[in-house]
Amino acid sequence: MSVKTSDWNSFSRTNAMEQWRRQSAMMGANLTEAIVLAAAPVPGMNVLDVACGSGEPAITIATQLESTGQVTGVDISEDPIKVARERAASRGLTNIKFERADVHKLPFPDHSFDLLTCRLGLMFFEEIPKALREFNRVLKPGARVAFACWGPMQQPYFDATAGVILAQFPNATIPEAARKTFQFGKTGKLSTLLKASGFHDIEEDLQTLPWVWHGTPEQFWEYFQAVTIPMRDLLDLGNDAQRRDRDLAVLSAVRQFYDGQKLDFTAVFNITTATRD
């Protein structure tokens, strides 16, 4: 089953993102730092952040531009954009704006931007080559892109969650949407797509970063189930009794990362940069 826009914008996901906003932001802070470092924005740039969600790395980049230039964040879902606007306003940022847009048909003129970023969104685009061609179109010659994508599924964050469920249901298979999550878990595939879309000087780097949940295992598992839309079919497996057993097994697995205040996972990401021809 593929993931629809309505799935990303579901009430349960939106409610969870609001409820756990602080913990979610803290968990993703190291990834945001990594993609911004790779993107290397400088004052005066016109930057586009696609699939911006609740505002990162757009907000961090706008802060680094020191009130110069312009950052535009776009997302297909309206609810996270509202959160992004609130976050930017609370920081007093005047060089940033957010709007709803489809990455396959961006509402911007040719050669508009100096830099484009995308954090954990590229894997889920319905037509990645088409989106990459759109990125090429709206970027100026010589402009850069920086992407952060999930690495392989075999890593602590997913071993202790989806991996536990797969062990409980040996005949289960990874949902199609979840497979897409990890499609750039090995280097090479994204480079091929970028070359075909008019980019060069491509560098793919698998980085292992801290991925820390500030809260209890129970809170983390509630959050994971609500926001990890690509795993939805896997999470729906079993009857009530089997799901209770699943919950106990997952909580047992994640507690090995718990120090009494936080869950200290690591996570692997593909950080990729390239330059438009």
Q: Where are the domains of the chain?
A: 5-152+183-214+267-276
pLDDT the model gives residue 20: 85
CA 3/CA 178 separation, integer angstroms: 9
Angle at the Cα of 60 from the Cα atoms of 41 and 88, rounded to 5 degrees: 130
pLDDT the model gives residue 112: 98
Tens of pLDDT, residues 202-248: 999 999 999 999 999 999 999 999 888 899 999 999 999 999 999 99
Report residue 4's pLDDT band, with 50, 70 and 90 as the boundaries. very low
Give 95's contacts (C-beta < 8 A, 6+ positions apart): 62, 65, 67, 68, 69, 70, 71
pTM: 0.92
pLDDT the model gives residue 222: 94
pLDDT the model gives residue 208: 97
Residue listed under structure tokens 């089997």: 242
First to last CA, the chain: 36
Tens of pLDDT, residues 143-153: 999 999 999 99
CA 177/CA 237 separation, integer angstroms: 16
CA 98/CA 242 separation, integer angstroms: 42
Residue range 42-54: mean pLDDT, rounded: 97
Please give the mean pLDDT across all residues of the chain: 93
Residue 114's H or E segment, with its range, is strand 113-119
Domain covering 5-152+183-214+267-276, topology: Rossmann fold (3.40.50)
